Amino acid sequence: MEASAPESRLRYPHLPADLQGLPSTMASASVAGLLSRAFMHPLDTAKAVIQVQTTPAPHTLQTLLRGSRTLKTLRSLWQAEGLGGLYRGFGITAALAVPATCLYFSTYEALKARLLRVSPCPEEQQQQAAADNSFIRALLLDSVCGFAAEAVACLLYLPMDVCKERLQVYSAMQPELAKKQRPSFSDVALTGGLRGLYRGYGATLLSFGPFSAIFFTLNHQFGRVANSLLLPPEAVEASSLSSSSSAAPPSSPLVAASVAGAAAGCAAFLTAPLDKVKLRLKDWRGASQALVRGPCFTRRLSP
């Protein structure tokens, strides 16, 4: 009876003790992910349109004073199609973002917990090893689990991304055709069949895999730095000796958001070239050419 007492106090008895926070993580991440995608979708549409344009915009003082290329693209989309043009493809995102996010974080947390449990060392030796090699251990653990989580989640992210980006760049690549006929979800989803939806899996993983690996690694390390600056020395020392190889949570939601934002910004900056390669390799190659024909990558969005 006494041995089972700790288990009876678990909030989710069907989950191991080291995965008790997974449901709340999945719920909060899903809501936050959907809201952030809703707010940022116009910028995502502008980014996709800019990335498929191969003719570089002139970077002169006059163009800088008039506004950025992103603002010009947003203005052109608004003038041409209104709010619907800025949110083209968002319906697909809203339908698949939540299950994809749940799959992403559940894979990351489950794999990380599994790897932490696999160790031949006694608990005291684990703690000493964590104290001696905490940075290297955390670096490898976060990188491997982040990349693996992205590889699994891409089973849902990739069809969502393919359909969304085909809709986003359609009018930019075929402006004359777009005025007469707008592609529907069935047009973009059925083009090339199931293989068409998963065409470019390697290109997507080439972009998002390193992003996830870098994000989780930096989020962990930035969190440790924030803890060392904001928490008492005793709490920092206890965190460094923890066998979970995870930094203690930041002292406030604002600090946690700042840490995650800084990690995401750095990861996005470092993987931006891979994201551009991913878009060009994935969306308008092979089967997708049956939907949009013509001089791809040469037509620019009309001002």
Task: List pLDDT tens digits, range 114-129.
Answer: 888 775 555 545 555 5
What does the DSSP assignment read for the chain?
Answer: --TTHHHHT-SSTTS-GGGTTHHHHHHHHHHHHHHHHHHHHHHHHHHHHHHT--SPPP--HHHHHH--HHHHHHHHHHHHHTHHHHTTTHHHHHHHHHHHHHHHHHHHHHHHHHHHH--SS-HHHHHHHHHHSHHHHHHHHHHHHHHHHHHHHHHHHHHHHHHHHHHHHHHHH-HHHHHH----HHHHHHTTHHHHHTTTHHHHHHHHHHHHHHHHHHHHHHHHHHHHHHS-HHHHHHHHT-TT--PPPPSSHHHHHHHHHHHHHHHHHHHHHHHHHHHHHHTTSGGGGGTS-SSTTT-----
pLDDT at 11 (0 to 100): 77
For the whole model, what pTM was predicted? 0.70
pLDDT at 126 (0 to 100): 52
| Separation CA 164–CA 157 (nearest Å) | 10
Own/partner pairs, 219-224, CB within 8 angstroms, 24+ separation = 219/142, 219/259, 219/260, 219/263, 219/264, 220/138, 220/142, 220/246, 220/247, 221/135, 221/138, 221/139, 222/259, 222/262, 222/263, 223/247, 223/248, 223/249, 223/250, 223/256, 223/259
pLDDT at 51 (0 to 100): 75
The answer to whether the beta carbons of residues 23 and 140 sit under 8 Å apart is: no
Length of the chain: 303
| Separation CA 143–CA 115 (nearest Å) | 13
Choose among 182, 113, 111: nearest CA to 153: 111
Structure confidence by residue, pLDDT tens digits, 236-295: 555 554 444 444 556 677 888 888 889 989 998 988 888 777 766 655 544 344 444 433
Q: Of the CATH numbers 1.50.40.10, 1.20.1070.10, 3.40.50.150, 3.40.50.720, which one belongs to the domain with range 20-117+129-290?
A: 1.50.40.10
| Separation CA 262–CA 217 (nearest Å) | 12
pLDDT at 149 (0 to 100): 92
Residues of the chain with pLDDT under 70: 1-8, 53-68, 119-135, 171-192, 231-251, 279-303
Alpha carbons within 13 A on the beta-carbon side of 212: 23
Q: Collect all residues with Cβ–Cβ distance below 8 Å to 248 and sequence separation of at least 6.
A: 223, 227, 231, 235, 236, 238, 239, 242
| Separation CA 125–CA 291 (nearest Å) | 60
| Separation CA 203–CA 188 (nearest Å) | 19
Choose among 65, 67, 70: nearest CA to 86: 70
pLDDT at 127 (0 to 100): 53
